[in-house]
Structure formats: C-alpha cells, structure tokens
Amino acid sequence: MSIADFFLITQAIFLVYFILLHGSYFSLNVLSIISIWNYMQERSISGLPNTYTGLEIPVSIIAPAYNEEATITNSIKALLNLNYPDFEVIVVNDGSSDSTMQVLINEFDLIIFPEAYLSGLPTQKIRQVYISKKFPSLRVLDKDNGGKADALNAGINVSRFSLFCAVDADSIIQTNSLEKIVQPFLEEPTTVAVGGTVRIANGCSVRNGFLVKAGLPTNLLALFQVAEYLRGFLFGRLGWSPLNALLIISGAFGVFHKETVVSVGGYLTNTIGEDMELIARLHRLLRARNVPYKISFVPDPICWTEAPEDLKTLRNQRIRWQRGLSESLAKNISLLFGKNSGAVGWLAMPFMLVFEWFGPIIELLGITLVIIGYYAGYLSAEVTIIFFTVAIGFGVLLSVVAVLLEEMSFHIYPKLRYIFILLLVAILENFGYRQLNSVWRLIATYQWAMGHKASWGEMKRSASWTEQE
C-alpha cells in the first residue's frame, strides 16, 4: 500500500467516524430538547400544596472532606440549611493533613459519639465519630486516609436512611435541590440513582454557603469550562436519561438507594473514577440480576462547584477523569453488547467507548495526519481547510445548542451580556482548548494503558466566587 493509499483509507475512516459522532450528538440533542421542554412545562409550576406529610423519603447527605479547612464551615452550614423535611449530614474527614477536623470540632461544637455502626462495606480505620451539640443531625467521621470512594463507603456504613446523597464538601447546593432530586424516587419506586446538574461557581456570589447571584468567571479557562459543563449536563446526560442509559452521575451531587449500592459492593476504592464506575456497575449487575431499575438525571437540582483556573490543576483533573473513564469502561466491559444490556450496553457504552474514550486519539490523529498530508502534498489546501472548518463548525454547533438549552430552560445567567459571552466562549473553546483537552486525555489513556499509578493531584483553590457578608 502506498502512502497515498494510506491517506485515502484514513480519510475515509475519519469521514465515517465523523458522521457517526455527529449523528449521535444530533440524536442526543433532539432527546435533550424534548426532555427539557417536557420538564419545564410540567415542573415549572407546582400544582401541589407546599407542605410535607412525613411520607417524604429521608436522606443521609455524605460529604467526604480532605484538606478543606478554608471552605468546610460554610459548606456544612449550607447543607444543614437545605429545604427538606428529614435529613442528616455525615461529614467524612478522610485523614486531612490540615486542620479540617479541628475547624469542624470548633465550629459545630462536636463531641465524641459512641456510634455502633454497621460495618457493611470495608473501609480504612475510623478513628472517631463525632456529633454536633449545636446540630444533632450532623455527625463527623474522622478516619484514616483512603480516598474519596473509601470515605463515601464509610459514610454509607454510618448513614441511617434508605437514600444517601453524595456531595463534594466544597460544592454549593441550592436550597431546594434535595427536594427536587429525590422526586424521581417518589415517582418511580425502581429508581436506584439520580444525578443533578453541576455548574461552575467561579464568578458567582455566595453568602453563608449559598449561591445568591449567578455570574460568569473572568478567567478564560473557567469560562471555557462553563460552556463545557452546559454541554455535558444539559444534553450529554439529559439525552441519555430517558433511555435509562445514563452512565455518569457526578460525584459532586447524586442521590442513591443505599441498599442497592451496598448490594453491588459500594464504591470501588481502587479506581479514580469511582462515581462513573459505580453507575456502570449498577447497570451491569442489576441487568445481570434481572432487577428492574431506573437511573435518572434531573436537570433542575443544581450544585455549584469551583473550576480550576490554572492549566496544571485543569490538566490533573482531565487526566483523572479520562483515567476514571478508562477504568470504569474496562471494569464493566461485559455490559457492552450483552444479551440483556439494553440501551446502556448497546448505545451508551459504545458511545462512551468510541467517542469519549477513543475520541481524543481519533481527533488528534486526524489533525496530525491532515497536516502531514497537506505538507506532503497528498491533500489539497481545499480539503485541508474543509476538514478543519467542518470539525470546528460542528464543535461550535454543539456548544451553541447547549446555550440554547439553557436559554430554553433555567435562565441561570441573568444578564444579556452573559449570553453573548457564553456564545463567544462556545466558539472560542473550539480553537485550542478542546484540542488541549484531547492531548491531556490521550496522556491519561496512555498512562492507564501503561499501568501508571493514578493520583488525585492537588486542587488549587482560588476562591473565585465572591463571598458576600
């Protein structure tokens, strides 16, 4: 085969890949637009009395914390003030090396509590359990460091209610979010997990741990992530949910049926993407057991999280996500095209594998080959320009549709100026940022394939939201 043939064949492969990729995205977009329209129509007005009956399902909120001394007080106060009739908050101090534990003891008047918990899931040693004298619904577990998954498992062991909500201790949850995210469990008793939307808190105004005004960050990297999160949550997840094929529920905010999670073994501690792995395993094992179940996504309950504003932290985060994806897919690969795998095994899993996991390889390979092909004279300037324009054009289209979905639904960003900024960012992120992400993801895939040790890395906090008095 000549070099020219090679270029011809690879171009044909890219063409097919490209059509499949954008065909899939287009289908997801259509599903998302329908879902969000229905959701907004039926859920924007409550036709019910605004009271509680005692039949609401109580929830244990589990917040793993590692070196969160600066933000933990406000975060926990906010959790304790959520609008929900019956819940407890369990903070798991996962062997922090800073003064997180001391801050908690001082701020919440913690005293040692002789918890006789059920140790259903194996975890690192629990040093002590505390309870707050000020807020008896708050308990704090002080344990040896074992990672986020281990901390969540410890929290599950001491939780008292049938549903648990996994949140990041540094996230900001809207006051009514818990009420909304529990709704699918009431409406569909087979529901085992529900995820909510996560948005970027950088540039927002926060008071006492609650978000009071949404805004956009001034940092370009954080701005790119705003557009990215809109895309990821508003059509990435919303599209899969009606098919019961959702493969990711963010570790920052998700509610789970405890007994089901324990029955599949809880969070895996030897993976870095424990949130996605758990969902994939729930699908795999519940399908294998022939148990009817539903895993849903609700676009409305919103959790705000701080996005990295420097390249190093962002790089670490993206490498971690891609490694998490690789591990989750590898560990649950039997779900793929399984006899009883349904939409998740026949659509979502192949999509994740081909477009999310393998995507960076194809994308970067495509760019490299087109450039080489052009300079070596195998591709005309016309074809080269068309290749780049189509690739970037479709990327822009996807981001712009995500902004449209936001505008059709929640209008989180109040000013017209913000919409223009978002649209501009939706275009700009396709010139360099997306490709940079692909490079990081490729590195992550390589590291995973080579068996390099994964680590969480350090999250550099910039307190990039405005704390109001």
Q: Which spans of this chain sit near other proteins (rule: CB under 8 A)?
A: 5, 7-9, 11-12, 15, 40-45, 47-56, 111, 113-116, 118, 131, 133, 136, 186-187, 379-380, 382-383, 386, 389-390, 393-394, 396-397, 400-401, 403-404, 407-408, 411, 416, 419, 423
Q: What's the CA gap between 290 and 22, in Å, rounded?
A: 33
Q: At its nearest, how many Å lie between other proteins and the CB of residue 42? A: 4
Contact 364, 438 (CB under 8 A): yes
Q: At its nearest, how many Å lie between other proteins and the CB of residue 428? A: 13
Q: What's the CA gap between 444 and 464, in Å, rounded?
A: 27
Nearer to other proteins, 414 or 432 (CB): 414
Nearer to other proteins, 127 or 460 (CB): 127
Contact 107, 71 (CB under 8 A): no
Nearer to other proteins, 187 or 467 (CB): 187
- For residue 48, give the amino acid letter: L
Q: At its nearest, how many Å lie between other proteins and the CB of residue 90? A: 15
Q: At its nearest, how many Å lie between other proteins and the CB of residue 456? A: 33
Cβ count within 10 A of residue 33: 19
Nearer to other proteins, 118 or 311 (CB): 118
Let me know how long the chain is: 469
Q: At its nearest, how many Å lie between other proteins and the CB of residue 296? A: 14
* Segment holding 88, helix H or strand E: strand 87-94
Q: At its nearest, how many Å lie between other proteins and the CB of residue 229? A: 17
Q: At its nearest, how many Å lie between other proteins and the CB of residue 294? A: 13
- Listed as own residue / partner, the contacts of 72-76 with beta carbons closer than 8 Å and 24 or more positions apart are 72/100, 72/103, 72/104, 72/169, 72/170, 73/103, 73/104, 73/107, 74/206, 74/208, 74/209, 74/467, 75/169, 75/170, 75/171, 75/172, 75/209, 76/104, 76/107, 76/108, 76/138, 76/169, 76/209
Nearer to other proteins, 424 or 463 (CB): 424
Angle at the Cα of 89 from the Cα atoms of 87 and 91, rounded to 5 degrees: 165
Q: At its nearest, how many Å lie between other proteins and the CB of residue 13? A: 10
Angle at which helix 72-80 crosses helix 100-108, to 10 degrees, equals 40
Helices (H) and strands (E) in the chain, counts: 16, 13
